[in-house]
Amino acid sequence: MVTTVKAALQEFIKQETSAGIVLFIAAVAAMVAVNSALNPLYLAFLNIPVELQFGALEIAKPLSLWINDGLMAIFFFLVGLEVKREIVEGQLSSVQQASLPAIAAVGGMAIPAAIFVWINIDMPQNINGWAIPAATDIAFALGVLALLGKHAPLSLKILLLAIAIIDDIGAIVIIALFYTADVSMTSLMLAGIGTLILFAMNRFGVVRVAPYILVGIFLWVCVLKSGVHATLAGVVAALAIPLSAKDGSSPLKHLEHILHPWTAYLILPIFAFANAGVSLAGIQVRDLMAPLALGIAAGLVVGKQVGVFGFMFIATKLGLVQRPQGVSWMQLYGLACLTGIGFTMSLFIGNLAFVDPEQIETVKLGVISGSLVSGILGYCLLRFTPNQRHDITMAAEPKIA
C-alpha cells in the first residue's frame, strides 16, 4: 500500500500540470479558510510569533513574514540558478535567442504598469502598486499550457518560459530599486562582504555547495537587517554557484534538481495559502471597479495582452525578430493572455507595496480576478486554435519553476 502511494505520488510530481494544481488547491484552501468558521484559526496561524536569537542578533517576526521573507528567498534562489543557467548556456545565451522573449517581457511589464498608473492617477495612495500587474506566475502559466497537451507546440512552451524568466529578472530589479525601506549601511556593508566571499569562492574553484549555503544564510540575515528586501539575497547567492566543475559535474544543476520539487510543491503553495485568502463577505461588483483592484486586473488582462503580443508583433513586422517556427499569431496571442496570470508574484509584490490591510485585501481581489480571467482566456484561445503543420522539436521539456 505504501509503495503504491509512493509510486502514485512520484508519478504526480512528474506531470507538468502538478505544480499548478497544487498552487490552485492551496489558493482555494486559503479562500475557504478565510470565508468560513476557520477564519480565526487561519489568522492565528499566520500570526504565530517566530523568534530566532543568537547573542545580540534577534529576528522576531510573525509566521506570515517568515514565509514571505524566508521561504520566498529560497524561491528566488532557485530563480537565480535558472537565470544563470539560461544566460550561460540556455535560451538567453545569445542575442538572437533572447531578443523575442526580451522584447515581449519588456512590453509585458511596461504596459500593465502604465495601465495601472492611468487608472490610479488620481489615487496617490495606490500608485506604489504600479508593479503588481507587471509580474507573471511561471508555475501557473506553464501549468495551464501543459493542460493543453498537443494543442500547445513545444516552441510555445519554451518561449513562455523564456519570457517568464526575463520577467523574473525585471521583478528582481524592481524590488531592489523601488521596494526597499530605509537602508542600514552597516548591514549593507556586511552583505557586501558576504557577496565578495561568495564570488571569491567561485573564482577560486570551490564546488562544494555547503560553503555557499552557509555564506548565503549570512547574506540573507544581513540583507534582511539592511532594509533591502531579503529575497534578493537568494538571487545573489545563486549567481555565485558554479555551473560546472572540473570533474564534469554541475553544482548549479544539482541544486536546481533538488530545490525544484520543494519549491513547486511546498514553498509556493505555502506562500499561496498564506497570501491568497480574500474575504468575500460583503463584496459587490463595485469593489472590483475600485481603482486599485481594477488597475491590477486590467493590467493583468489587458496590459499583458497588449504589451506582450503587441511588442512581439511590432518587432516581428520591423524585422527585429522572427516568429517562432510552427507557432501562429493566434497562439502567440493566447500565450500573451497566459502571461497575465500574475498570482504568486503579483501577490508578493503587493505585500511589498502596501501595509494597510484594506489595500492588501483589494490587491488580492484584483490579482485573483485578473489572473483567473487571463488563464481562462488563454486556455480557450490555445485550445481551439489549430496547430500549424511544422513545429520544432527539442530534446528537453522546460521545467516549471
Domains in the chain, please, with CATH? 33-383 (1.20.1530.10)
Given this model, what pLDDT does residue 114 score? 97
pLDDT 10s per residue in the chain (401 long)?
556 545 554 554 455 567 778 888 888 899 899 889 999 999 999 999 988 888 777 788 899 889 988 888 898 898 889 888 888 887 777 787 789 999 999 999 999 999 999 999 999 999 999 999 998 887 778 778 777 777 777 778 888 888 888 887 888 888 888 887 667 888 889 999 999 999 999 999 999 999 999 999 999 999 888 877 788 888 899 999 999 988 889 999 999 999 988 988 899 889 889 888 877 776 677 778 899 999 999 999 999 999 999 999 999 999 898 888 778 899 999 999 999 998 888 988 998 899 898 898 899 899 999 999 999 999 999 988 877 654 443 334 444 44
H/E element, 43: helix 39-46
Q: Tell me how far apart the alpha carbons of residues 253 and 176 are, in angstroms, rounded to a whole number.
A: 26
Given this model, what pLDDT does residue 399 score? 45
Given this model, what pLDDT does residue 12 score? 45
Cell numbers for 307, please give them: 504589451
Cell numbers for 185, please give them: 549601511
Given this model, what pLDDT does residue 138 score? 77
Given this model, what pLDDT does residue 213 score? 94
Query: Is the CB of residue 39 less than 8 Å from the CB of residue 23?
Result: no
Given this model, what pLDDT does residue 15 score? 54
Given this model, what pLDDT does residue 3 score? 61
E strands, 13-66, where?
49-54, 57-62
Length of the chain: 401
Q: Tell me how far apart the alpha carbons of residues 46 and 142 are, in angstroms, rounded to a whole number.
A: 29
Query: Is the CB of residue 29 less than 8 Å from the CB of residue 18?
Result: no
- Mind giving me the DSSP string for 1-42? -HHHHHHHHHHHHHSTTHHHHHHHHHHHHHHHHHTSTTHHHH
pTM over 0.85: no
Given this model, what pLDDT does residue 126 score? 94
Query: Is the CB of residue 338 less than 8 Å from the CB of residue 375?
Result: yes
Given this model, what pLDDT does residue 32 score? 92
Q: Tell me how far apart the alpha carbons of residues 159 and 140 are, in angstroms, rounded to a whole number.
A: 15
Q: Tell me how far apart the alpha carbons of residues 159 and 314 are, in angstroms, rounded to a whole number.
A: 17
Given this model, what pLDDT does residue 14 score? 55
Phi then psi dihedrals of residue 243, to 5 deg: -75, -35
Q: Tell me how far apart the alpha carbons of residues 127 and 360 are, in angstroms, rounded to a whole number.
A: 13
